Chains A and B, each alone.
Chain A
Amino acid sequence: MVSRRDFLKITGTAAGTAALTAVGAEASAPHPDLDPDRFGVLTDTTLCIGCRRCEWACAEQNGLPHGDLESYGDTSVFDEMRRPNAEAYTVVNRYSPPAGTQQPLDVKVQCLHCEHPACVSACIVGALEKSPMGPVTYDAWKCIGCRYCLVACPFQIPAYEYAEPLTPRVMKCTMCAERTLKEGRAPACVEMCPPEALVFGPRFELLELAHRRLAENPGRYHPEVIGEQIVGGTSWLMITDRPSAEIDIPDLPNESPSVITETIQHGIFKGFTGPLMLFGILSILMKSSSDKRKEKEDENG
Chain B
Amino acid sequence: MRKSSIIRLLFLGLILIVVPNLAAGQIVDPKHPKDSKHFPSAEKVTACVSCHTCEKPTPDDPCLVNCPRHGAHFYGHHEVAEGPEIVIIDQLADLYRPVVFAHRLHAEMSNMTGGCENCHHYSEQSGVIPPCRECHDAAKGPVSLNQPALKGAYHRQCMNCHRDWSHASACGFCHEQVHEGIGTAVPDTTDIVGIPHPNITSPPTFTYQTTYEEGPVVTFHHVDHVDNFGLNCVDCHRGDSCSRCHEPEKPKAQKTRVDHVTTCCSCHGQRDCAFCHTEQSKPRFEHTRTAGWALEPHHTDVACITCHGSPRDFRTPSDKCTSCHIHWEVGEFDHGVTGLTLSEDHVDLDCSDCHLEMNFSVRPSCEDCHDEPMSPDRLPGIRK
Task: Judge whether B141 and A50 touch: CB under 8 Å.
Answer: no
CA distance A201 to B144 in the complex (A): 10
Interface string of B154-168 (1 = CB under 8 A from A): 011001000110011
Interface string of A90-117 (1 = CB under 8 A from B): 0000000000111110000000000000
Interface string of A209-239 (1 = CB under 8 A from B): 1001000100000000000000000000000
Task: Judge whether B171 and A73 touch: CB under 8 Å.
Answer: yes
Task: Judge whether B152 and A194 touch: CB under 8 Å.
Answer: yes
CB-defined contacts of A186 to chain B, threshold 8 Å = 140-141
Q: Is A39 an interface residue (CB 8 A)?
A: no
Closest to A98 in B: B253
A76, chain B: closest CB distance, angstroms: 12
CB-defined contacts of B251 to chain A, threshold 8 Å = 100, 102
CB-defined contacts of B243 to chain A, threshold 8 Å = 102
CA distance A36 to B7 in the complex (A): 14
Task: Judge whether A195 and B145 touch: CB under 8 Å.
Answer: no
CB-defined contacts of B167 to chain A, threshold 8 Å = 102, 104
Known A49-B163, A51-B171, A195-B156; contact A100-B253, beta-carbon cutoff 8 A: yes
Give residues 50-77 of A contacting B (CB, 8 Å).
50-51, 53, 69-70, 73, 75
Q: Is B177 an interface residue (CB 8 A)?
A: yes
Q: Is B349 an interface residue (CB 8 A)?
A: no
Q: Is B189 an interface residue (CB 8 A)?
A: no
CA distance A212 to B151 in the complex (A): 22
Most buried by A among B5, B159, B169, B170: B169
CB-defined contacts of B170 to chain A, threshold 8 Å = 73
Q: Is B252 an interface residue (CB 8 A)?
A: yes
CA distance A53 to B152 in the complex (A): 14
Partner of B172, one of A73, A101, A212: A73
Task: Judge whether A70 and B155 touch: CB under 8 Å.
Answer: no
Task: Judge whether B177 and A49 touch: CB under 8 Å.
Answer: no
CB-defined contacts of A161 to chain B, threshold 8 Å = none
Partner of A103, one of B95, B163, B172: B163
CB-defined contacts of A104 to chain B, threshold 8 Å = 167
Task: Judge whether A216 and B66 touch: CB under 8 Å.
Answer: yes
Known A50-B169, A70-B177, A205-B145; contact A212-B159, beta-carbon cutoff 8 A: no
Closest to B170 in A: A73
CA distance A186 to B169 in the complex (A): 23
CA distance A100 to B254 in the complex (A): 7
CA distance A100 to B169 in the complex (A): 21
Task: Judge whether A51 and B169 touch: CB under 8 Å.
Answer: yes
Task: Judge whether B152 and A196 touch: CB under 8 Å.
Answer: yes
Q: Is B142 an interface residue (CB 8 A)?
A: yes
CA distance A260 to B231 in the complex (A): 66
CB-defined contacts of A73 to chain B, threshold 8 Å = 169-172
CA distance A199 to B253 in the complex (A): 31
Task: Judge whether B156 and A196 touch: CB under 8 Å.
Answer: yes
CB-defined contacts of A35 to chain B, threshold 8 Å = 2
Task: Judge whether B145 and A196 touch: CB under 8 Å.
Answer: no
Q: Is A268 an interface residue (CB 8 A)?
A: no
Known A49-B163, A70-B172, A103-B163; contact A191-B140, beta-carbon cutoff 8 A: yes
Interface set of A (CB-CB < 8 Å, partner B): 35-37, 47, 49-51, 53, 69-70, 73, 75, 100-104, 186, 190-191, 193-196, 199-201, 205-206, 209, 212, 216
7 A-B residue contacts at CB 8 Å?
A: A49-B155, A100-B253, A102-B243, A102-B251, A186-B141, A196-B155, A209-B146
10 tightest A-B CB contacts, nearest first: A196-B152, A194-B155, A195-B155, A49-B169, A51-B169, A196-B148, A100-B253, A195-B156, A49-B159, A209-B145
